[in-house]
Amino acid sequence: MNIDAGTMRPTEHGEVYVLNDGGEVDLDLGNYERYLDVTLSRDNNITTGKIYREVIDKERKGEYLGKTVQIVPHVTNAIQDWIERVSKIPVDDTDEEPDVCIVELGGTVGDIESAPFIEAMRQFQFRVGYENFALIHVSLVPDMHGEQKTKPTQTTVHSLRGLGLLPDLIACRLIVPQPLNAATKDKISMFCHVSSEQVFGVHDVSSVYHVPLLLHSQGIVQYLKKRLRLDKLVIPETMITKGKSLEKRWREMTAGQERLFDSVSIALVGKYTDLKDSYMSVIKSLEHSAFRVHRKLIIHWVESSDLEPEIQESNPAKYHDAWRAVVGASGILVPGGFGTRGNEGMILAIKYAREQKIPFLGICFGFQLAVIEWARSVLEVSGATSAEFDSNAEHPIIIFMPEISRTHMGGTMRLGLRPTVFDPDCESWSKVRKLYGGVGKIWERHRHRYEVNPQFVDQLQQSGLSFVGKDEKGERMQVLELKDHPYFVGLQAHPEFCTRPLNPSPAFLGFIAASSGQTVFEEQLQYQLANFKPPHPDHAMVSEEVLRGETEKTRMVNGVPGDIHMEERVIQVVNSDRD
């Protein structure tokens, strides 16, 4: 029933992924953007809360002309209308209406939660016609001591057909390295009313990036071409060439993974390490960067609170294991987060990286903590902290942004794609600027409520902490970098949200390259200067004023800014570490 993922803590539902327009969505949207190299909007994420809100809004306005408002047809129609509308929105640099729209209907067949959506899809197949609707059903095929069991698939397909949906393809997920047996395919074909060619196996492979090639080898492209009459489309020669180039580069990337001998070890110091999905985009950014520099990625997960002195007393083994991981790593990464738990451990890790000249990357919260660590250690400002930790702090280095709501959590942060302007004085030496192709302005996605206190900026810069990137007005600090360090970079934005397998995030690429050695780092600097291309469509890279206006326009609901009505946005914060 959530309107979006913005108020959910990462350990509840995984990472909160941010889109260009500021939409806070499920982490699956990040997978789609990365795999398909597309740019999506908040409307590409449908939730029950969004649909019910839309239907209730129409009812309150009298748009149903006094009829009894029901799940069928009003909610199901709203779902179909939403899909049809959003499916026509351009999502790539061609700026053309898409030919195919992929719809993920989450949950399990028979769930109360998904029932209106399944009924909507049953109706939708008749609205758009047989040639325009293909259903892929994903089902688990357990492997019981080498025997592949088909009963769960038979049962779920039977339930699905009872609800009026007939699968065109059945994708069988196996959680073992063995492929789907031919006999298993035939059995599923017999009992699920499909041919053997319509049954695909998706077994465990060495890397998730092999999965598209695995499906391609089983004929999924040919089947969908025939089923959806895609062979009737007239595709320009330039697009065909682009597609062939993409396939070639993807095959080279995946083939290269199997022959990697050198490794790069990264200590990820965070507070949500119990659920790795909390840092999904960070992991993907590290993976993409490691592909580029031909290194096998090793991530050491470090719970930040385990680095704090109190743990040395209460659990010395855990304390020493955490510090062993940090000290033994080639690079140290501190990602985003909220609240007070584990912050001192992150600051200690940052201090170690700075003093020992270990490559460091701080993202959002990590950027803010790097500023606090500098203020404490270099400026010797005792009690330097964030207003998030102590609202009455004497030296708040990080403060609450003045335009942000203090009472409402959902959709009220500084969100979405925002420009960063590099300081002209840093052009000759800034490593991070060179990684972005040496341009004067870049765009990254933001998600934060706090910023560096303007009262301390001059003092921080004069002491040697360089804020090489700021907002267009020069008031908000967005990128920091140390000049005399192999790689010490912090970004207020979340560059991980814009990474691509074949076009890794520059900030992460620099971090992984620096962690792999100075020679590798210099090679990537030169490559990025000559070849970097932003992953954003040209029309998205505009001034912050224009971006803010577009975002606010999409967030207006009955004249109230934000994602939902004011009365719907009231929330009681009972835990300062809610995120």
What is the pairing mode between strands 136-140 and 169-173? parallel
- Find the distance separating the first CA and the last CA of the chain, reported in whole Å: 18
Residues near 386 by beta carbon (within 8 Å), at least 6 away in sequence: 368, 372, 393, 396, 397, 398, 399, 450
Residues annotated catalytic, as ranges: 364, 494, 496
Within 8 A by CB and 6+ apart from 403, the residues are 414
Check: CB of residue 414 under 8 Å from CB of residue 401. yes
Q: How far apart are CA 38 and CA 500, in angstroms?
A: 10
* For the chain, the helix, strand and coil percentages under 3-state DSSP, each to the nearest 5: 45, 15, 40
Cα–Cα distance measured from residue 360 to residue 197, given in angstroms and rounded to the nearest whole number: 50
CB atoms within 10 A of CB 88: 9
Task: Return d(Cα 124, Cα 254) in angstroms, integer.
Answer: 37
Q: Where are the alpha helices (DSSP H) in 309-364?
A: 309-314, 316-328, 343-355
Please tell me the distance from the alpha carbon of residue 314 to that of residue 311, in angstroms, as a whole number. Answer: 5
Query: What long-range pairs does 542-545 form, CB within 8 A, spacing at least 24?
Result: 542/419, 543/419, 543/472, 544/418, 544/419, 544/471, 544/472, 545/472
The H-or-E segment that residue 509 falls in is: helix 506-516
Residues 300, 306: Cα–Cα separation, whole Å: 13
C-alpha to C-alpha distance for 321 and 198, rounded to whole angstroms: 49
Q: What CA–CA distance (Å, rounded) separates 170 from 150?
A: 12
